Structure 1
Amino acid sequence: MTDSVFTRIVRREIPAAIVFEDEQVIAFMDAGQVNPGHVLVATKRQVETVMELAEAEAAHLFAVATRVAKVVQATFQPEGMTLLQTNKPAGWQTVPHVHVHVLPRYANDGAELVWPRKDPPLAELQALAARIVL
Structure 2
Amino acid sequence: MTAYDPNNIFAKIIRGVLPCERVYEDQHTLAFMDIMPQGDGHVLVVPKSAARNMLDVDPAALGPLMTSVQKLAKGVKAAFDADGVAVMQFNESASGQTVFHIHMHVIPRWEGVPLRGHTGAMADPDLLKSQAEKIRKTIGFNGWTG
- Using structure 2 for the length normalisation, give the TM-score: 0.71
Q: Does 1:68 align with 2:69?
A: no
> Are 1:9 and 2:13 an aligned pair?
yes
Post-superposition offset of 1:46: 2.3
Number of corresponding residues: 112
Matches within 5 A, 1:1-134: 1-111=5-115
Aligned partners of 1:51, 1:24: CA distance in 2, in Å? 19
8 Å CA contact 2:49–2:61 kept in 1: the answer is: no
Q: In structure 2, how many angstroms separate the alpha carbons of the residues matched to 1:43 and 1:88?
A: 17
Larger RCO (alpha carbons 8 Å, 6+ apart):
2
Q: Give structure 1 regions of 4+ aligned residues with deviation exceeding 6 angstroms.
A: none
TM-superposed CA distance for 1:51, in Å, is 2.2
TM-score (norm 1): 0.77
Larger radius of gyration: 1
Q: Deviations over 1:72-128 (max 9, x none)?
A: 11111112210001110111111100010001112333328xxxxxxxxxxxxxxxx
Matched-pair identity in %: 33
